[in-house]
Amino acid sequence: MMLDPFIRADEVLDQKWDSRALELELEHGNGGLLGLVSRVGSAGPFRTLSPWELEDPGGHRTLNASGYSALPFGDGYPPLLEFVRSYLEKNRQIGLPQQSVTPWRAALETNLIRLLAQFAPSHADSRVFFSNSGTEAVEGAIKFAKAARPRAKHLIHFSKAYHGKTLLSLSLTPNPSLQRGFEPWLIPTVTLPFGDLEQFKSTLKKLGPDNVVCVLLEPIQGEAGVVIPPPGFLRGVGELCGKYGIPSIADEIQSGLGRTGHWFESLAQGWEPDIICLAKPLGGGLTAVGATLMRDAIFKKLLGKTNDVKRHSNTFGGNSLAMAIGLKSLEILREQNLPERSQRLGKVGLERLLNMKERHPELLAEVRGAGLLLAMVFRPVVGTKWLPIGGQIVGELTGLLAQRAFYQGGVQLNFTLNVAKALRVTPAMNMPEELFEELLLKLEHTVERTKTAGRLLTGTSRAELLSLGEYVLKNG
């Protein structure tokens, strides 16, 4: 068999492989996922017209409100790129420091803790462990908590949570379609209804607080479709954990560092967690940085004594390039006051979404938001009594068709992992005002044109519908 020649990096840089990228990925990568997005029409590859605008191979321009909260400045934000260029030219520090010190890692951990201590002074002597993704930041948090409470048996987490897909994080992400086939879990889990403080209290009593390793939750659940807990819930969970000495862990991977309008959503809601997981925006949309921030006493239970200091480590976490990008990203977030901007733009965005829902309740069942973490929940495209398929599959089909309609209307949105009939709107926190207004107008036009969920279905050609239906039935 004649193999294609080896693909050279320069050729990719010169866009010589753009036209074959989808075909190659379908063959050698996650073909199922790409099959899905290509059915929606949004497989790319995309060219960036600016950090906030994309163009597909057919010349269709879209505003990017996707990026899963990991693009705080959009794609390729010039000040960040310029800084990275200077880093590559001037930096003489080693790239993978591991057991030696570098000013990049030292500076980022110091800034993160100083930022945290500004809102929670008792964290002034806290520490940071760096990793390479959100799920790894969560895994680290649980491992540190378990080291602090080795005899405890249960992990408490909440319905519709999302904490990642590696096995320990997956055990804490109670979505049957993701968890199917992977049990039993390494550490037994107890799933409680998100927002129900009374049930949390009675469960602690039933299990016995000493048997609980830790309590893990997102202050706002992103992959559930931006679910905000009732007032007092987070504070109550924090107080009960404090009372019994159970480490409480805030997964701020999606909510943290400004997207919801606050540096730390947990602290803004009166909950002072013992451990905080960060990732997505810390990489500036350029690289992956996971960070687990925690109280000194918890850190030292795993990495304290001389004999123990190698019990948790990784090769790439804390590498100098990632730390430099993290440091610069934090600086841009701070100097441009992006949490405050996110809050201001998000308020306008939510008002406009509420207005759309009011005018078209047969399309939009619900809209929700905190800062620039916004969500639209759609009515099902078809009642399950008309089709012999389950609600989950109808939800998948609804999300796909809605995604497709908005893409055609010029906006890229995020799928939502735990509630498929919801799409999230998460533009860059620094999106220029005129583009943000254009984004809202495009959302309004698509909603106006579609009017009812049923129209998402009837407005789709038979062939496209069959293709989507086949995908959903096979994978739903």
Ligand X SMILES: Cc1ncc(COP(=O)(O)O)c(C=O)c1O
Residues that bind ligand X in the complex, under the rule CB under 6 A: 68, 133-135, 138, 162-164, 218, 222-223, 251, 253-254, 279
Q: Are 344 and 310 in contact (CB under 8 A)?
A: no
Closest chain position to ligand X (CB):
134
Q: Which residues lie below 8 Å from residue 78, measured CB to CB, with a gap of 6+?
A: 51
Q: Which of residues 394 and 423 has its CB atom nearest to ligand X in the complex?
A: 423
Q: Which is nearer to ligand X, 171 or 254 (CB)?
A: 254
Choose between 53 and 251: whose C-beta lies nearer to ligand X. Answer: 251
Q: Which is nearer to ligand X, 17 or 316 (by Cβ)?
A: 316
Min separation Cβ 252 and ligand X, Å: 8
Which helix or strand (DSSP H or E) is residue 144 part of? helix 134-148
Residue number, 149 or 424, with CB nearest to ligand X: 424
Token pair in block for residue 147:
């080291």
Q: With respect to ligand X, which residue has the nearer C-beta, 158 or 453?
A: 158
Distance CA 197, CA 220 (A): 15
Spatial separation of the C-alpha atoms in residues 37 and 44, rounded to whole Å = 9
Q: What is the DSSP letter of 276?
A: E
Give min distance, CB of 311 to ligand X, in A.
22
Q: Which CB sits closer to ligand X, 171 or 460?
A: 171
Collapsing DSSP to helix, strand or coil, 190 comes out as strand
- Name, in order, each residue with C-beta under 8 angstroms of 77's C-beta and a sequence gap of 6 or more: 51, 284, 285, 332, 428, 430
The least distance separating ligand X from the CB of residue 5, rounded to whole angstroms, comes to 34
Which is it for the CA torsion 220, 156, 250, 201, positive or negative?
A: positive
| Residue listed under structure tokens 């930041």 | 137
Nearest-approach distance from CB 404 to ligand X, in angstroms: 22
What is the spatial distance between Cα 272 and Cα 263, in angstroms, rounded to a whole number? Answer: 13
- The phi and psi torsions of 474 (rounded to 5 degrees) equal -70, -40
* Contact between 39 and 400 (Cβ < 8 Å): yes
Nearest CA-CA partner of 379 in 317, 328, 423: 423
Q: How far is the CB of 207 from ligand X (least distance, A)?
A: 24
Chain center to CA of 27: 27
Task: Provide the residue type at 231 as one letter.
Answer: P
Residue among 329 and 460 whose Cβ is closer to ligand X: 329
Closer of 135 and 460 to ligand X (Cβ): 135
Residue 28 beta carbon to ligand X: minimum distance, rounded to whole angstroms: 21
The residue behind tokens 């089709």 is 387
Minimal distance in Å, beta carbon 459 to ligand X?
30
What is the rounded distance in angstroms from the CA atom of residue 126 to the CA atom of residue 471? 47
Q: Which residue has the tokens 């992400």?
A: 173
* Residue closer to ligand X, measured from CB, 414 or 446: 414
Q: Is there a contact between 447 and 408 (Cβ–Cβ < 8 Å)?
A: no
Give the pair of three-digit tokens for residue 60.
Answer: 């269709």
Smallest distance from ligand X to CB 381, Å = 25
Closest separation between CB of residue 214 and ligand X, Å? 15
Between the alpha carbon of residue 49 and those of residues 52, 56, 297, the distances in Å are 8, 10, 48
Shortest Å distance, C-beta 282 to ligand X: 10
Q: Which is nearer to ligand X, 422 or 447 (CB)?
A: 422
Q: How many CB atoms lie within 10 A of CB 361?
A: 12
**In whole angstroms, how close is the CB of 93 to ligand X at the nearest point?**
26
